[in-house]
Amino acid sequence: MTTPRPATLSYFRGSFALTFVGLLVAGGVGLYSTGTAAGAASTVFITAVLGVLEVSLSFDNAVVNATVLKDMTPVWRHRFLTWGIAIAVFGMRLVFPVLVVSVVARIAPWDALRLAAVQPREYARLLTSAHALLGAFGGSFLGMVSLRYFFDSDKDVHWLRGLEQLLARVGKVESAELGLVLLVLYGFSRAVPPAESEAFLVAGLFGIVTFIAVDGIAAAMEVDEVTLGAVHRAGAASFLYLEVLDASFSFDGVIGAFALTTNPFVIALGLGIGAIFVRSLTMVMVEHGTLASYRFLEHGAFYAIGALAGLMLLNTVVEVPEAVTGLVGAAFIGLSLWSSIRWNRRAARAAPDSAA
């Protein structure tokens, strides 16, 4: 007898509770910084908008998370929802930007945090000045993630058949994705201002090295399926991979959020609320077998990651609106979902004929 899965809404109870707490804290931050009830209400509204934007821009992240989580044990899935939330909210949305400002301004992290509280506009300027380096790191890391998925000669399920069959054949060449990302990175380094070219290349190389390191840890810690049954990947390595992936996805969101507010604490609250919902959405996909039900959804997510990688690199040369980044990812996800539904319908119609 199989255990029934919880209702979908039950996965979001914790998210709604933390959202309520987060909005209360946002109201307190707004009241402290403005001294008026109207200012507090405005801060709550901006926080809620940031949360919605984070969810809409990170749906592809949820799908990719689900592809990794489906091979993890329930223990590590639980840790992803607990420790992972703390790292996503406080680490990537607050601590990491503070560390970036600390490095750029060559000041202590505590001074960078004080700058965020006392001079948020200067803090925003310093963080934005590192946009090219973050774009190089995130773009190269996500580019490796996307290309590794498509440059797979053993891949036999294709959505855009002609293109993906070609990419699978290219995958027979050893380290083809590494060579392509290096060439693209070099090309963009020639387009950025000469003063930033070397730092841009170094940041991109660190993105590639980070991918290789995380992927290598996962490979080294793989467990024998015969010995440990359904455990296919070491939970710790997969957890690390997911957190680096989340960091790469969050770069543009953190910097783009300054268009709505320069208060880093409000940004951390709003994006953190969105990150919590993305994790709940990920667990729904894992527990309900969404990826297995929709054949091409995973493909759409990795196309969206590739598009995000390209846009992050492009954004170091020309300004790309945040809405474009979100819409491109949503378009790939939506089209892959539509194609999956069509495929399921054709398969259902063909099933009675084959049975007859």
pLDDT interval class at 10 (50, 70, 90) = confident
**Between these two residues, 347 and 3, which has the higher pLDDT value?**
347
Highest mean pLDDT among 99-103, 188-192, 232-236, 328-332: 188-192
**Between these two residues, 300 and 92, which has the higher pLDDT value?**
300
pLDDT tens-place string over residues 314-327:
988 888 776 677 67
Domain boundaries, the chain: 11-256+263-346
The pLDDT value recorded for residue 25 is: 92
Task: Tell me the one-letter amino acid at 187.
Answer: G
Q: Is residue 180 predicted with pLDDT exceeding 90?
A: yes
Q: Which two tokens stand for residue 315?
A: 């954004």
The mean per-residue pLDDT over the stretch 158-182 comes to 90
CA distance 324 to 301: 16
What is the DSSP track for 84-132? HHHIIIIIIIIIHHHHHHHHHHT--HHHHHHHHHH-HHHHHHHHHHTHH
Sequence-ordered strand ranges (E) for the chain: none
Q: Is residue 254 predicted with pLDDT exceeding 80?
A: no
Q: Which two tokens stand for residue 191?
A: 């387009």
Q: Is residue 257 predicted with pLDDT exceeding 50?
A: yes
The pLDDT value recorded for residue 228 is: 38
Q: Is residue 252 predicted with pLDDT exceeding 80?
A: no
Where is average pLDDT lowest: 59-63, 231-235, 305-309? 231-235
pLDDT interval class at 4 (50, 70, 90) = low
The pLDDT value recorded for residue 283 is: 81
Nearest to residue 20, comparing CAs of 285, 344, 273?
Answer: 273
The pLDDT value recorded for residue 227 is: 42
The pLDDT value recorded for residue 204 is: 92
pLDDT tens-place string over residues 102-150:
888 888 888 888 888 788 888 888 888 888 888 888 889 889 988 988 9
**Under 8 Å CB-to-CB from 61, ≥6 apart: which residues?**
245, 246, 249, 278
pLDDT tens-place string over residues 188-230:
999 998 888 998 999 999 989 988 887 776 666 554 443 433 3
The mean per-residue pLDDT over the stretch 227-249 comes to 63
The mean per-residue pLDDT over the stretch 154-161 comes to 87
The pLDDT value recorded for residue 20 is: 92
Residue 124 Cα distances to 92, 98, 255, angstroms = 16, 10, 8
Q: Which two tokens stand for residue 140?
A: 């190269």
State the average pLDDT for the chain. 81
